[in-house]
Amino acid sequence: MVAFVKRFVHENDVDSIQELEAKEEDDVLVRFKGMELQGSVEYGSTGSAGKDFGGMQSSKPLAVIRPAVSEDVAKVIRLASRSQHLTVAARGNGHSINGQAMAHRGFVVDMRSMETRIEVGPTGKYADVSGGALWEEVLKRCVSGHGLAPRSWTDYLGLTVGGTLSNAGVSGQTFIYGPQTENVTELEVITGKGDVTVCSHTQNSELFFSVLGGLGQFGIITRARVLLQPAPNMVRWIRMVYNEFSEFTRDAELLVTREEGDSFDYVEGFVFVNSNDPVNGWPSVPLDGNYPFDSTRIPRTAGPVLYCLEVALHHRKDDRPSTVGIRVEQLLGQLRFCEDLRFEVDVSYMDFLLRVQRAEKEAKDGGIWDAPHPWLNLFVSKTDIADFDRVVFKNILKRGVGGPMLVYPLLRSKWDNRTSIVLPDGDIFYIVALLRFCFPYTKGLSVEEMIAQNQEIIKSCNTNGLDFKLYLPHYNSKEGWKQHFGNQWTRFQERKACFDPNAILAPGQKIFPKNW
Ligand code: FAD
């Protein structure tokens, strides 16, 4: 009925349209209040559901749903599908940058409110984990209860399982095991039609691959079966400094392409400013306060930025120190980092994986965790990474971003083409993560200037014809999304038509408007 009346409302008569929408919302809320959920619903007051880590967008959902069981999620989706405008966004831990987990005047489903279930299977090969569980919770339960751990991580573990699986989930183990999306074998998903479906490589496989890296467009993940392996208890954590980008990339690629089991267990890298700036420069490198950065060791030919390879080797407490040392020296022996600019510590496996949580605490104390974060993440093809260094790191970003500038190689062969993730061409590509922090009391760039700088970076990549894709992508136009997906766009659209034909889910991604 609403649709019928609306056709007669003049297009420019915004007030009338808003009145109709408001009336429809009232009707829906009446029906909603009559619906029996095991969980709870909060109307009106938005709290954290209208914000995210990016801190640059806000929205007003109609209601926040705190589901108790999967069927609650299904009921909410089914109700939304009967209305003209309503949308539903799953909210993991709200660590998106650009409002991806928001639903303006729609329903936000708070996945954290479902009971956290982490059940290790009888063979110890996997754990069944709820979609709203934090990776930090998964780590602690699996290690302390069973001496087991997932194989593939993100750097920061205050993210939900469903939230990272909707993107990819990348860290220093990705070169061995692939992203987190490659390390789950079964999902329970509530589709945009409100169907509760179990899917895997062999059962409802189209849904399984659609949802992985699917930006929340095809279903809400309520359970994931995560692969496990025995957890080590110690980690040798090492950083080495490079003056030349070509040597840094040569060594990083050497380490990630060695035979499985014959390299480090973790390989990452970052760029830092060649100055004593406490945030962006030399002091950001040492792992242990007792060994400061000796800048006299930097070659005289060094430019405005330097590079750091970060690696880690798992070992056990009862391994002889000499055994670990010999293995480390064997692996480092072939690398060409600056002599005497090497830093290392032994830490427990848990402390290593929870390293960013310590940084989080410091950032919260310093007031920069809750300030805006105009982050930019890209995948750049190996063929173009030297140009990226020349144009972006050595030029646009030569003073840093007020936080880490990660850059390290990943192997295409570890990513299944059937998921919804899009990547640049070639066997090797680099992740570049510009993790900007705004310092309220110092003379850094303003948020607006940071956003403008991000746009300048993307424009430079396009102008120079670099082969890249945004990771954790964000576009405001359909044209932007079409270009992003390239020859995968048709498949992505077909998947949407199949699993969420009314475009109810994850409206904050701004890919498909409702009634597209
Ligand atoms: P949200 O921001 O809540 O949601 C993200 C999207 O997924 C939304 O569209 C939402 O609707 C959808 N969604 C959420 N839950 C579900 C679900 N259960 N089912 C279906 N869709 C769902 N990424 C990496 O790969 N590697 C890193 O090392 C890394 N480090 C990070 C560190 C920090 C401090 C931050 C803020 C982000 C980092 N990220 C990293 C990015 C992160 O993986 C993504 O932003 C991720 O989406 C955040 O998870 P979340 O639970 O907060 O998701």
Q: What CATH number is attached to the domain comprising 210?
A: 3.30.465.10
List Cβ neighbours of 312 (8 Å cut-off, separation of 6 or more).
172, 235, 236, 237, 238, 264, 265, 266, 352
Identify the band that residue 11 occupies on the pLDDT scale cut at 50, 70 and 90: very low
In 373-481, beta strands by DSSP E: 376-381, 405-411, 428-434, 468-471
Does ipTM top 0.95?
yes
Among protein residues, the one with the nearest Cα to ligand 1's atom 10 is 101
Task: Give the mean pLDDT of 421-436.
Answer: 98
Q: What is the pLDDT of residues 230-276, one digit of tens each?
A: 999 999 999 999 999 999 999 999 999 999 899 999 999 999 999 99
Same domain, yes or no: 272 and 132: no
Q: Which of 179, 195, 230 is the last residue of a domain?
A: 230
Q: What is the pLDDT of residue 5?
A: 30
Q: Do 162 and 288 lie in a common domain?
A: no
Q: Note whether 210 and 255 are same-domain residues.
A: no
Look over the chain and give the mean of its residue pLDDT values, rounded to a whole number. 93
CB 77 within 8 A of CB 35: no
∠ CA 177-178-184, nearest 5°, is 85
- The number of the ligand 1 atom at minimal distance from the alpha carbon of 53 is 36
Question: What pLDDT, on the 0 to 100 scale, is given for residue 4?
Answer: 31
3-state secondary structure 391-449: HHHHHHCCCCCCCCEEEEEEEHHHCCCCCCCCCCCCCEEEEEEECCCCCCCCCCCCHHH
| Parent domain of 363 | 234-471
pLDDT reading at 8 higher than 50: no
Higher pLDDT, 445 or 34: 445
Gap between the terminal Cα atoms of the chain: 19
For residue 43, being part of any structural domain is answered with: no
pLDDT per residue as tens digits for the range 337-369: 998 999 999 999 999 999 999 899 989 988 889
Tokens of 469: 């894709």
In sequence order, the 6+-apart residues with CB closer than 8 A to the CB of 79 are: 28, 31, 32, 35, 86
What integer pLDDT is reported at residue 197 of this predicted model?
98
Query: In terms of domains, do 185 and 321 share one?
Result: no
If asked whether residues 221 and 368 sit together in one domain, one would say no
Q: Give yes or no: 186 in active site.
A: no
| Domain count of the fold of the chain | 2
Least confident range from 94-103, 397-406, 433-442: namely: 433-442
Which pLDDT score is estimated for 14? 46
The reply to whether 11 belongs to the active site is no
**What are the structure tokens assigned to 237, written together?**
């954590």
276 CA from centroid of ligand 1 (Å): 33
**pLDDT by residue (tens digit) across 117-162?**
999 999 999 999 999 999 999 999 999 999 999 999 999 999 999 9
Measured by CA distance, the residue closest to atom 40 of ligand 1 is 154
220 shares its domain with 248: no
Task: Retrieve residue 108's tokens.
Answer: 């936000």
CA dist., res. 312 & res. 426, Å (int): 26
Kindly state whether residue 53 falls inside one of the protein's structural domains. Answer: no
Which residue has the CA at smallest separation from atom 20 of ligand 1? 220
| 194 and 277 fall within a common domain | no
Q: What is the pTM of this model?
A: 0.95
Residues 182 and 279 in one domain: no
Answer yes or no: do 351 and 268 share one domain.
yes
Choose which residue among 93, 110, 139, 166 to substitute to test ligand 1 binding: the one with the highest number of ligand atoms within 8 A of its C-beta. 166
Instruction: Tell me, rounded to whole angstroms, the distance of Cα 515 from its chain centroid.
Output: 28
pLDDT at 19: 65
How many Å apart are CA 55 and CA 371, to the nearest integer?
A: 7
The tens digit of pLDDT for each residue in 286-331 reads: 998 888 999 999 999 999 999 999 999 999 888 887 889 999 999 9
In the set 24, 25, 268, 384, the catalytic residue is 268
Q: Quick one: which atom of ligand 1 is closest to the CA of 131?
A: 18
Tokens, residue 259: 């035979």
Residue 68 covered by a domain: no
Structural domain contains residue 454: yes
Q: Please give the number of the atom of ligand 1 that sits closest to the Cα of 167.
A: 47
SS3 51: coil
A 10 A CB-CB count for 35 gives: 12
User: Which amino acid makes up residue 322?
Assistant: S
